[in-house]
């Protein structure tokens, strides 16, 4: 009897992604993969497509969708379910977990006549807390990495089979993906891969599992040429089919006909790289040093068991911007459960898509369009909730929105909603236009990432056979990128308060100025009324080696289309100083943004500023200041295609000289 070779692909695009990006993935990957599969009736494989992507293909690429149906009729595809909009299942409430899985399972059954029993675990983020829910909606088989087992103390040779796990008496089967196959397929020649499979069969393996990103077969760099034009996929399929020791099979068949290898309980984890990425930057460097040391000591295999990174939810601690999206979705989930409204639930499910919540090799959180999409769905869900609850113009609500232990305020007005935090001295963290579902403060701070140091070093690759995996790409960084490796020590919200001895626009743009106050990133006391907010902090200004008393009071009042504000600072510091209010905004087209009709990077005279990109809308800022400097700030982040230089937001620095006290006042109007 031949060893079952369980081959699966997971295909996903972030919900609402650019259509040209999705179309390219279809044309270079999903379509040729299915066309090639049809040529090989003995090629039987599992497929997981996130629900919205599957429906996008149905509506826009009918030939590809029909090929999937043909493969189903040929008994070549075993469909796997999952969250319809690809959430990390352990990061959403129980009811939403079951609802999203059932939504995708129904879709698959309606269009392909299969009720899936297998589930793709988004980013392989494992948490035993999900077992009960997935079992209740008909899931029998789940996919994890072999690393999940190894980190629990299992030996590699124990993992050529599947295991049973349970929670509260509910059981599922766990199939560990072979990491070696993940790095071999499709990057190495077919002979190397089949030789590995046959060795696994010879060693008594009950099955061999590969279930990985479908985009590796045409979207990842150089893979389209390698897989299809150079004929790798056909050679690979020919080689496996002609093997006398292994054959393609379905997961369901193995679970029904092959005995499990035993009972297993796994810790909270994902794949190894994800655990590394979720650590704080300094810890990543320390972990890499420890791994290198253990490798030199000949303990590389042992290190996999005992050296672990963080867990996926650490991204909420690492990136406040990610946490804000996640916690807003949690609050909306409670609204949706209470309202039982289809439109609200649909917007919520879309907002739970995982892509904008984390960052590793992939752009994720650093891609503004993904964050824009998340905020669009959040704002739409809020509008649906307001419609149901009659809260379209409800004014100020207070709660700990971010779960950070500090009070926040959420303001509901006719044309916009906004949120403010007491954690960062009364700064505005969102400004949400209801007309087009845009968050105008969808910015992100420039943070040091562990790979920034590596980007400055030249990489070498001595292995010239096959092609590089995404983890080993040689990337080049330009001089412009080097100059923009700038790091912020505070969050890039709006109404950020600075005090400095003198104002230098370039130093502020590079975050290289000397801060003299403790207002920028420290908490303030919040007082809320129906249409007003007040924040007060008694702190200090530090000048000439002395701490001088200082107090800041920030008052906001809200009307249907705008926010009036007054910011007062008083201090006993005798020196002449400069107060700088920093406003950060994000518009759809950051390359076309103007202030008073002028490009950014120039001095804007007067106290009135009209900010627009010609697409999103206008932000009109009327103040009692005499001028401002504008600057578009960018991030340097790694992605599957190399290194991206991404415009993230507009910083408007508004300076005012003062001695003893200063008042900054004005109005923001959104159109």
128: which residues sit within 8 A by CB, 6+ positions away?
165, 167, 265, 266, 268
Assigned token pair, 312: 């996926």
Q: Which residue has the tokens 């989930």?
A: 333
Phi, psi of 364, deg, nearest 5: 50, -115
Q: Active-site residue among 78, 96, 117, 123? A: 123
DSSP for 571-635, written as a single string: E---S-EEEEEEEEE--S-TTS-EETTEESSSEEESSEEEEE-SSS-EEEEEES-SEEEEEEEEE
DSSP for 310-323, written as a single string: --TTHHHHH-HHHH
Provide φ and ψ at 161, rounded to 5°. -175, -160
Q: Cα angle at 97 between 91 and 102, to 5 degrees?
A: 155
State yes or no: is 133 an active-site residue: no
Residues with Cβ within 8 Å of 163's Cβ and at least 6 positions away in sequence, in order, are 149, 173, 174, 176, 260, 261, 262, 263, 264
Q: Are the CB atoms for 543 and 577 separated by under 8 Å? A: yes
DSSP secondary structure code for residue 203 in this structure:
T
SS3 228: helix
CA distances from 378 to 345, 353, 381 (A): 11, 11, 5
Q: Is there a contact between 401 and 331 (Cβ–Cβ < 8 Å)?
A: yes
- Cα-based distances in Å from 468 to 275, 413, 463, 464, 592: 22, 52, 9, 8, 36
Show the DSSP H helices in 456-605 as ranges.
479-483, 505-509
| Neighbour-count burial of 659, counting CB atoms closer than 10 A to its CB (0-12 exposed, 13-18 middle, 19+ buried) | exposed
Q: Tell me the CB-side half-sphere exposure of residue 463, using CA atoms within 13 A.
A: 11
Residue 222, both tokens: 């150089």
Least Cα distance to 186 among 146, 141, 239, 142 occurs for: 239
Residue 28 has what DSSP assignment? I
Rounded distance between C-alpha atoms, residue 658 and residue 462, angstroms: 61
Handedness of CA 342, 345, 347, 349 (dihedral sign): negative
Compute the CA torsion angle 47, 48, 53, 56 (nearest 10 deg): 40
DSSP 116: -
Separation of first and last alpha carbons in the chain: 70
- Which are the contacts of 9, defined by CB distance < 8 A and separation ≥ 6? 33, 45, 46, 47, 48, 211, 212, 213, 214, 217
Lookup: tokens for 660:
């003893």
Integer angstrom CA distances of residue 655 from 145, 535, 581, 584, 652: 54, 21, 7, 15, 10
Contact 96, 351 (CB under 8 A): no
d(CA 88, CA 123): 7
Active site residue 157: no
Would you tell me how many other CB atoms lie within 10 Å of the CB of residue 190?
A: 20
Pick the catalytic residue from 213, 234, 404, 564.
Answer: 213
DSSP 626: S
Are the CB atoms for 642 and 591 separated by under 8 Å? Answer: no
Nearest residue to 240 (alpha-carbon basis) of 207, 271, 198, 274: 198
Residues catalogued as catalytic? 123, 213
């Amino acid at each position: 009897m031949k060893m079952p070779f369980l081959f699966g692909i997971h295909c996903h695009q972030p919900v609402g992604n650019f259509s040209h990006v999705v179309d390219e993935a279809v044309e270079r990957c999903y379509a040729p993969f299915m066309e090639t599969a049809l040529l090989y009736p003995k090629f039987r494989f599992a497929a997981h497509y996130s629900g919205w992507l599957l429906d996008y293909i149905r509506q826009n690429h009918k030939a590809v969708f029909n090929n999937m149906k043909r493969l189903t009729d040929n008994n070549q595809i075993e469909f796997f379910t999952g969250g319809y909009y690809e959430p990390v299942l352990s990061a959403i409430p129980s009811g939403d977990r079951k609802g999203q899985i059932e939504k995708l399972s129904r879709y698959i059954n309606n269009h392909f006549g299969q009720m899936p029993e297998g589930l793709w675990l988004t980013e392989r983020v494992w948490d035993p807390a999900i077992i009960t829910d997935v079992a209740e909606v008909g899931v029998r088989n789940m996919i994890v990495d072999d690393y999940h087992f190894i980190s629990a103390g299992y030996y590699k040779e124990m993992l050529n089979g599947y295991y049973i796990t349970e929670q509260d008496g509910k059981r599922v089967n766990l199939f560990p993906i072979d990491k070696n196959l993940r790095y071999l397929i499709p990057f190495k020649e077919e002979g190397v891969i089949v030789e590995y499979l046959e060795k696994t069969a010879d060693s008594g393996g009950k099955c061999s599992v590969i279930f990985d990103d479908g985009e590796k077969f045409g979207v990842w760099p150089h893979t389209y040429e390698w897989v299809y034009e150079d004929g790798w996929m056909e050679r690979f399929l020919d080689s496996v089919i002609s093997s006398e020791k292994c054959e393609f099979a379905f997961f369901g068949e193995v679970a029904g006909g092959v005995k499990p290898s035993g009972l297993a309980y796994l810790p909270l984890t994902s794949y190894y790289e994800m655990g590394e990425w979720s650590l704080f930057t300094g810890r990543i460097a320390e972990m890499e040093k420890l791994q290198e040391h253990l490798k030199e000591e000949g303990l590389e295999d042992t290190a996999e068991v005992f050296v672990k990174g963080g867990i996926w939810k650490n991204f909420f601690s690492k990136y406040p911007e990610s946490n804000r999206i996640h916690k807003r979705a949690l609050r909306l989930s409670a609204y949706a459960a209470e309202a039982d409204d289809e439109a609200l639930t649909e917007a919520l499910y879309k907002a739970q898509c995982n892509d904008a919540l984390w960052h590793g090799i992939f752009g994720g959180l650093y891609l503004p369009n993904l964050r824009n999409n998340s905020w669009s769905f959040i704002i739409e869900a809020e509008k649906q909730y307001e419609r149901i609850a009659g809260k379209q113009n409800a004014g100020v609500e207070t709660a700990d929105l971010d779960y950070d232990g500090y009070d926040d305020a959420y303001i509901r007005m006719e044309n916009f909603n906004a949120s403010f935090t007491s954690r960062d001295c009364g700064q505005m963290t969102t400004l949400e236009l209801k007309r087009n579902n845009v968050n105008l403060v969808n910015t992100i701070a420039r943070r040091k990432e562990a790979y920034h140091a590596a980007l400055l070093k030249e990489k070498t690759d001595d292995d010239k056979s096959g092609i590089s995996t995404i983890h080993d790409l040689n990337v080049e960084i330009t001089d412009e990128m080097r100059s923009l490796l700038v790091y912020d020590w505070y969050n890039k919200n709006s109404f950020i308060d600075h005090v400095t001895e003198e104002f230098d626009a370039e130093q502020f743009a590079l975050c290289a100025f000397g801060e003299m106050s403790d207002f920028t990133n420290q908490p303030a006391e919040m007082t809320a009324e129906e249409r007003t907010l007040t924040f007060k902090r008694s702190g200090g200004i530090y000048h000439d080696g002395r701490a001088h008393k200082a107090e800041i009071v920030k008052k906001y009042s809200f009307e249907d289309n705008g926010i009036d504000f007054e910011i007062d600072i008083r201090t006993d510091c005798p020196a002449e100083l400069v107060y700088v209010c920093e406003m950060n905004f994000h518009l759809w087209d950051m390359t076309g943004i103007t202030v008073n009709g002028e490009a950014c990077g120039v001095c804007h005279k007067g106290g009135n500023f009209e900010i627009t990109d010609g697409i999103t809308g206008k932000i009109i800022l009327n103040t009692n200041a005499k001028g401002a400097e504008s600057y578009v700030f960018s991030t340097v982040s790694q992605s599957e295609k190399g290194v991206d230089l991404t415009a993230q937001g507009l910083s408007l620095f508004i300076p005012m000289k003062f001695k003893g006290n200063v008042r900054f006042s004005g109005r923001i109007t959104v159109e």
